[in-house]
């Protein structure tokens, strides 16, 4: 094969590989949202909430604001989360302080900056809803530029003031997956179709 033919064929091969790389994940089984919803509702049914005289949310909100600090996370996860704690942040589910700590350590390793502002807290008996704004930077997302996201954490504490259930609600599609090169363009294209 001559060099000229190889140079003419190379772009087509690269394009074919790109198409394959995009299509293979698209053919993967779809995530079962009913299973995730059932898991959340099962956790709500099985976790025992503190009495109406709930302990302070301050340890949890302080923790949330400092999850970018690995040393703080190492020292405080077991102080904030109960031994049987459930955490789902819309991306993953973890149980117990060890898994939760490892997850936040991995998260901190991917970020170059991190800031959470607590915007509002609402409580209904033993159910607490913490509305927050998160701004973070990660080299592999948005070209390393800051990504800003708003969300709510549904939190339930036990009588000792430790988190037994932590379910986040935020737009991970736009704020994580939408910031990944190529995939972000596909998500934006889908979003625009829904707007029409």
SS3 of 35-66: the string is HHHHHHHHHHHHCCCCCCCCCCCHHHHHHHHC
Predicted local distance difference test score (pLDDT) of residue 170: 75
Q: pLDDT of 112-162, one tens digit each?
A: 888 999 999 999 877 899 999 988 877 776 677 888 888 999 999 998 899
Predicted local distance difference test score (pLDDT) of residue 159: 87
Answer yes or no: are the C-beta atoms of 119 and 132 closer than 8 Å: yes
Rounded to 5°, angle at Cα 182 from 179 and 185: 70
Answer yes or no: are the C-beta atoms of 161 and 155 closer than 8 Å: no
Residues lower than pLDDT 70 in the chain: 1-8, 10, 12-33, 48-54, 141-142, 171-196
Predicted local distance difference test score (pLDDT) of residue 108: 86
Comparing CA positions, the residue from 127, 135, 148 lying closest to residue 51 is 127
Q: Mind listing the domains of the chain with CATH numbers?
A: 32-170 (3.10.450.50)
């Amino acid at each position: 094969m001559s060099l000229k033919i190889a140079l003419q064929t190379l772009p087509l091969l690269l394009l074919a590989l790109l198409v394959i790389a995009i299509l293979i994940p698209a053919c993967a089984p779809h995530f079962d949202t009913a299973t995730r919803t059932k898991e959340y509702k099962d956790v709500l049914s099985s976790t025992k909430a503190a009495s109406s005289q709930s302990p302070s949310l301050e340890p949890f909100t302080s923790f949330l604001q400092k999850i970018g600090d690995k040393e703080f996370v190492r020292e405080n996860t077991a102080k904030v989360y109960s031994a049987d704690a459930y955490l789902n942040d819309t991306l993953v589910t973890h149980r117990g302080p060890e898994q939760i700590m490892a997850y936040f350590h991995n998260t901190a390793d991917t970020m170059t900056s991190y800031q959470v502002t607590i915007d509002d807290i609402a409580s209904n008996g033993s159910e607490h809803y913490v509305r927050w704004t998160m701004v973070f930077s990660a080299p592999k997302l948005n070209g390393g530029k800051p990504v800003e996201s708003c969300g709510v954490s549904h939190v339930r504490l036990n009588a000792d003031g430790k988190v037994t259930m932590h379910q986040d609600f935020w737009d991970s599609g736009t704020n994580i997956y939408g910031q990944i090169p190529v995939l972000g363009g596909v998500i934006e294209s889908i979003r625009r179709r829904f707007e029409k």
